[in-house]
Structure 1
Amino acid sequence: MTTRTTAGLVGAGVAAPLVAVSVLAAAGALAAPGGGLPDPGPLVRAGLPVAAAVRDLAAALTVGLLVTAATLLPGPGPRQPGLGARQGRDVLTPLQHRTTGWAAVAAAAWTTATVVGLLFTYADLAGSPLGVGTVAALPYFVTDFDLGRALGLSAAGSLLAGLLAATAATPGRLGTATLLAVAAVVPLAWTGHGGSSLNHATAIDAQMTHLVGVSVWVGGLAALTLLRSRLGGDLAITAGRFSVLAGWCYGLVAAGGLAGAVVRLPDPAAVTGTSYGQILLGKATVLTALGIAGWYHRRRLLPQLSVPGRRGFARLAAGELMLMGAAVGLGVALGRTSPPDAALAETLPATTALLGYPMPPPLTLTTIFTAWRPDPLWLPLAGAAAVCYLLAVRRLRRRQIRWPAARTVAFLLGCGLLIAATSGSPGVYGQVLFSMHMVQHMTIATAVPAFLVLGAPITVALRALPARTDGSRGPREWLLAVVGSRYARLLSNPLIVIALFLGSLVAFYYTPALEFSLRTHIGHLLMLGHFLLVGYLFANIICGIDPGPARPPHLFRLMLLIVTFGFHAFFAVSLLSGSALLAESWYASLERGWGPSLAADQALGVALSWALGDYPIAILAVALIVSWVADDTREARRYDRQADRDGDAELTAYNTHLQRLHHHDRHGENQS
């Protein structure tokens, strides 16, 4: 099959969502909003869903092309020794260059469609036709409205990803462009109905999971179809790698879609009795068909790819692309259709609307241990991390490689604490009581990272993951690249880590960042992710054993530990002695008829933060001492082995030197 034919098949997949949007628009699913709102005109009503469909498809194609170039295609191989720094550096292959060039074009389309969608969205909300006033108001919309900010962030991310892709000459820059492209997809999840619904945290997280999975899956298949004629004999290997990746993406899409459906359609009758439910049912049908096609692809067609004549693969891939395109079109229509719980969201009590869930019962000794609200993001992430760690340990044991059980217990304990802090009582009451927020914060920032670092996850991953031999970069190769990158060296600098660890406390609690994390789910996710990462970097410097930049001497680490937590205690005292209430407007807006006053709860929270910093100090200190003793023991053993090999030549040379000094001194005395 020729390249022109392949491009035509991909084009058919691209046209499918536009056809789906047009059909649904004609059927009235995308009609102008009712309730007396002004009509922005047919251009805005018709152009907004089309711009959204083009944006989503261009985003998927950008992400898929970059992921394919970064992780699936054969690469340049390792650096060649004996060459100069510039000549010996890894460079992209011609095929990777071509793929990133196409990704840059797709990113330009993504950015353009997002900007056009911004104009249409503002005109739709304002109820006015497009004009000069719409363009003039765009900066105001992007800076002062959540919807505008989300679309603006996505446009900025896609623009940066496209610029990096266009100028990428090394795998490192390609990897950065890929991460930027995936990150630019995430804000699109904030533009749907999920942010205004009951259990909006679950809805937003489900949508983020869904969009990332769809983008990698749809875009990856499109990229593989475009590149199939250029891959030659590498098609079978590349398609096999994509098949594994597509399986993970299918799971993400299915999980995100199921979670979103449960949130938006709590009544089963709404599935067939509402337009929203019918479109969602259509998406589920398409997803099922794609799962069957993927199973057939993996079981029947992959083993035949090494045989000349690959028409079956092209036809099936084109069919999958058309189904995926139809699913994207249905998703756009779904975003423009009012869900069944839209009216319910407008009648929710003020506190329920703010929290996204009803006010929990009074905090007691019982509810501290029994309160439970599964976190839609951190619970599956922590669970997946624990499962992957156990699978890696099992793989090592099958290869007769010993792995300390204490490290396994430490990592699982860290995952368990992460689940308890986000899904247990700290997660349930963290937005209601400042004291429980502090419990969650200190657990995430100090205790969880300490146990995760003691589990040495990078070491066990590097030992368990398979290595690639064709120059491409899989999980193991990218992990090694990240560990040895200049960014890792920068973030492993003790002074920078301490500045981040301590400066984050001051910046978070003495700025509006605390209230932002309480009022918005995105702010809450950023807060937890930031403190988890900074805490991990700090614990890794103190007692980590994973490969990476050289750590400072043990005595210096001990000094860092003492100074850091001494400042932490001083920070707690400063909060305790202050008279201002933190995030007062947020906590005062909650209708909490139980528990302590705001001032008493804040005092309790500060005291808890002080106390909860003690046991991580003890854990890190003990781990540091054990590491110190172990390093000294290894050094002594190394010295003993060297002495056995050379007959203790170093000690003999030292004694000879002392004897010479002694004779020199005696000779000087005799002359005097």
Structure 2
Amino acid sequence: MTAPELSPRLYGAVLGVVGLASLVAVVVLSGATPQPPPPGLPDPGPVVGWALPISRYASDILATVTIGFLLTAVVLLPSGDRLEGLAVQAVRIASWAAGGWFVAALVFYWANVADLYARPMTQVELGQLVDFASVFATGRGLLVQAVAALVVALWARWTFSVRQLALCVAVGLIGISAVGLTGHSASAGSHMLATASLVLHLVGVVLWVGGLIALGWVALRRSRRLEDAVARYSTLALWCFATVAVSGLVSGFVNLGSLGGLDSTYGLLLLVKATALVGLGAFGVVQRRRLRHRGAGFARFAVLEVLLMTVTIAVAVVLSRTATPVGEDVLTSPAELLLGRPLPPEPTLARVLTGFYPDGIGIAVVVFGTAFYLTGLRVLRRRNDRWPVGRTISWFLGLAVVAWATFGGLGVYSSVMFSLHMVSHMMLSMIAPIFLVLGAPMTLALRTLPGPRRPGEHSPRSLLRDALHSKVSAFYTNPIVAAVIFLGTLYAVYFTGLFEAMMRTHSGHAFMELHFLFSGLLFYYVMIGVDPAPRRLTPLARFGVLMLSVPFHAFFSVALMSSDVIIAESYYQALERPYATDLAADQYLGGGIAWAMGEIPLLLVVGAIFVQWFRSDSREARRSDRAADRDDDAALEQYNAYLSSLRDDAPRR
């Protein structure tokens, strides 16, 4: 049976059967079938052994289908404010798939608990189900995924609004990312790099594979809008392929440890997955060329590509349950367990300036920030549009600061010494955002993102524009709200136990870095932003908000310097560092750094405000001059006539 003869329902059945058969084959060939434990140890039974990979595979496939059909309805198929035609049916399919995803995620959660306590699934107790989420990060990640799936299933049944369904896609991706944060290498070296690469890998695969599955369904429905959808998907697929390839390479390198790890079962499965990835890339190239030169045959190649993708996902499921060559004994000391890497040597100026350690979050922000900005500049250049050089320089200066504060020398020591952590905090929240905001990334995106393919269509550009002018954006860009988030973070993080709790987990440390960066971006977006915003403050009002914010930052620094309580004392004691052993002195230095560095962004922002003020007045003057040239200065003549009438009426009064 050829692909065009498949009905949409049979298409789904074939994918499910092929995927399940592939999963069973990979499990058997890799030797991952359930094995009886040594005598004397409890055995959860073969049902649990097979329920784990099957429910994980079903969860991954259904999550991919959910995101793919929602993405197709919102972005790929042309629609207005509300979905219409085939897009409505795609959302219905996504809703049912999300319901199945929710059930599969719960079964996988249940099977993990049974495997952990080595008992059949029917004998798992309620308290054990609760403890798995409260004690283990894996349990929390799986629970977040199940909740996200349920939210998407219910929300997609309730609305056909393009904006709300775009939020559904975001919720689904959050659920997928939550599981990625608890994947392989949780206790191995380079954990933050491996975790970030795994999350990007999962997101890239879901968008890439899910979009193609949905487009295969659109092709089998013989929709006349397939050509437009495929053209837009091609760009997304290229980005996803690059993300999946690079993140998979990084994750594989971290988990293998060395090329010698390729001799293991994990290494062999990794080679199979990499080969399938290359094959998928080749399929994509052939598919795009066929469409470009012949404009037909998409369905047949799409189905073949999707079948190969389902086999690849089956390999990935087994790979996720296979022990890596890098064992859990890589990290042995308390400092290594806390940091995810060996304790760095005593800091020197050269080490702080030129050091390097691969922090996954920082690398992801810098790499994607660079790639997206350069892509926007390339689009403008193709159209012969101009873009201010100063904005480009400002953007890349901001990324350079982020790089130094996260995976550069400063980032190496930011989790070891409080004083250098405070320097990193100031760089992420007060220095880098100034340059990034002045780089006008949203303006560049609005000028280069794909626009509507027909009148009234919601495009990526219109979705971004609506988000910038939405009520949510209006709330967060309120100067009071932005200032409270920016300054309140200082007190909420450091004068509670939140700082130590986040420093003790890799995901908490990553979240803290992102929060510092985005809270600074929000504040300076309100103060000196050149991008579109729901409200635009006058330069004088911006200067006033800035002056009101300064005392709160200074008071925080003074309170930090004068405090007798050592912040995160047990954390820093557990590091057992042989240098900077006086924690009180290091904290005092950190408070002084926060106070001193608060003056630098103040000067930069004041300068930017006055430059914007001057340019605003200059533009207004030029606008008035042009108006005067058009009407021979009618406004001035009218004003002079008014003054003359007052003079003539004075004797009478």
Q: TM-score, normalised by structure 1?
A: 0.92
User: Of residues 313, 324, 327 in structure 2, which corresponds to 1:328?
Assistant: 313
Contact 2:106 2:146 in 1 (8 A): yes
Question: CA 1:478/1:211 → structure 2, altered by over 3 Å: closer, same or farther?
Answer: same
1:175-213: CA deviations, max 9, x gaps? Answer: 111111111110111232221211111111111011111
- 2:34 aligned partner: 31
Question: CA 1:594/1:301 → structure 2, altered by over 3 Å: closer, same or farther?
Answer: same
Question: CA 1:321/1:392 → structure 2, altered by over 3 Å: closer, same or farther?
Answer: closer
- 2:267 aligned partner: 277
- In 2, the alpha carbon distance for the partners of 1:30 and 1:426 equals 47
- 2:57 aligned partner: 53
- 2:166 aligned partner: 175
User: Of residues 5, 22, 34 in structure 1, which corresponds to 2:24?
Assistant: 22
| Correspondence 1:193 to 2:184 | yes
Write the mapping of 1:304-383 to structure 2, written as runs, cut at 5 A.
304-305=294-295, 307=296, 310=297, 313-345=298-330, 348-383=332-367
Write the mapping of 1:528-607 to structure 2, written as runs, cut at 5 A.
528-607=513-592
1:486-514: CA deviations, max 9, x gaps? Answer: 22222211111111111222111122321
User: Of residues 456, 475, 478 in structure 1, which corresponds to 2:463?
Assistant: 478
User: Of residues 88, 107, 120 in structure 2, which corresponds to 1:97?
Assistant: 88
- In 2, the alpha carbon distance for the partners of 1:30 and 1:230 equals 39
- In 1, the alpha carbon distance for the partners of 2:183 and 2:17 equals 23
- In 1, the alpha carbon distance for the partners of 2:286 and 2:356 equals 41
1:332-356: CA deviations, max 9, x gaps? Answer: 11122211222533x6222212211
Write the mapping of 1:64-75 to structure 2, written as runs, cut at 5 A.
64-75=68-79
| Correspondence 1:41 to 2:45 | yes
Q: CA deviation at 1:291?
A: 1.5
Corresponding residue SS for 2:121: coil
| Correspondence 1:246 to 2:237 | yes
Corresponding residue SS for 2:34: coil
- In 2, the alpha carbon distance for the partners of 1:191 and 1:20 equals 25
| Correspondence 1:213 to 2:213 | no
- 1:87 aligned partner: none
Q: CA deviation at 1:228?
A: 1.4
- 1:236 aligned partner: 227
Corresponding residue SS for 1:545: coil
1:202-248: CA deviations, max 9, x gaps? Answer: 11111101111111111111111112144533222212222221121
Corresponding residue SS for 2:78: coil
Corresponding residue SS for 1:193: coil
Q: CA deviation at 1:550?
A: 2.3
- 1:80 aligned partner: none
Amino acid at match of 1:625: F
Q: CA deviation at 1:478?
A: 2.6
User: Of residues 213, 221, 230 in structure 2, which corresponds to 1:222?
Assistant: 213
- 1:293 aligned partner: 283
Question: Greater shift after overlay, 416-425 or 382-391?
Answer: 382-391
Corresponding residue SS for 1:342: coil
Amino acid at match of 1:572: S
- In 2, the alpha carbon distance for the partners of 1:542 and 1:400 equals 31
- 2:140 aligned partner: 149
Question: CA 1:267/1:397 → structure 2, altered by over 3 Å: closer, same or farther?
Answer: closer
Contact 1:60 1:215 in 2 (8 A): yes
Amino acid at match of 1:528: E
Q: Alignment identity in percent?
A: 38
Root-mean-square deviation (Å): 2.2
Write the mapping of 1:255-270 to structure 2, written as runs, cut at 5 A.
255-270=246-261
- 1:84 aligned partner: none
Contact 2:377 2:387 in 1 (8 A): yes
- In 1, the alpha carbon distance for the partners of 2:4 and 2:269 equals 36
Contact 1:17 1:330 in 2 (8 A): no
- 1:425 aligned partner: 409
- In 1, the alpha carbon distance for the partners of 2:37 and 2:547 equals 63
Contact 2:7 2:220 in 1 (8 A): no
| Correspondence 1:526 to 2:511 | yes
Amino acid at match of 1:38: P
1:133-165: CA deviations, max 9, x gaps? Answer: 433432332233211111111111121122222
- In 1, the alpha carbon distance for the partners of 2:178 and 2:451 equals 34
Corresponding residue SS for 1:131: helix
- In 1, the alpha carbon distance for the partners of 2:10 and 2:185 equals 36
Amino acid at match of 1:374: P
- In 2, the alpha carbon distance for the partners of 1:270 and 1:578 equals 50
- 1:500 aligned partner: 485
Amino acid at match of 1:246: A
Question: CA 1:341/1:387 → structure 2, altered by over 3 Å: closer, same or farther?
Answer: closer
Question: CA 1:108/1:508 → structure 2, altered by over 3 Å: closer, same or farther?
Answer: same
Question: CA 1:366/1:291 → structure 2, altered by over 3 Å: closer, same or farther?
Answer: same
- In 2, the alpha carbon distance for the partners of 1:659 and 1:141 equals 86
- In 2, the alpha carbon distance for the partners of 1:510 and 1:140 equals 30
Contact 1:383 1:415 in 2 (8 A): no
Q: TM-score, normalised by structure 2?
A: 0.94
Question: CA 1:302/1:339 → structure 2, altered by over 3 Å: closer, same or farther?
Answer: same
Q: CA deviation at 1:472?
A: 4.7
Contact 2:6 2:220 in 1 (8 A): no
Amino acid at match of 1:176: L
| Unaligned runs of at least 5 residues, structure 1 | 77-89
- 2:425 aligned partner: 441
- In 1, the alpha carbon distance for the partners of 2:147 and 2:572 equals 34
Question: CA 1:332/1:37 → structure 2, altered by over 3 Å: closer, same or farther?
Answer: farther
Corresponding residue SS for 2:360: coil
| Correspondence 1:121 to 2:124 | no
- In 2, the alpha carbon distance for the partners of 1:32 and 1:659 equals 104
- In 2, the alpha carbon distance for the partners of 1:41 and 1:398 equals 62
Question: CA 1:602/1:30 → structure 2, altered by over 3 Å: closer, same or farther?
Answer: farther
Contact 2:561 2:591 in 1 (8 A): yes
Contact 1:468 1:474 in 2 (8 A): yes
| Correspondence 1:608 to 2:593 | yes
Contact 1:10 1:321 in 2 (8 A): no
Contact 1:25 1:46 in 2 (8 A): no
Q: CA deviation at 1:546?
A: 1.3
- In 2, the alpha carbon distance for the partners of 1:560 and 1:32 equals 66
Question: CA 1:383/1:130 → structure 2, altered by over 3 Å: closer, same or farther?
Answer: closer
- In 2, the alpha carbon distance for the partners of 1:373 and 1:461 equals 31
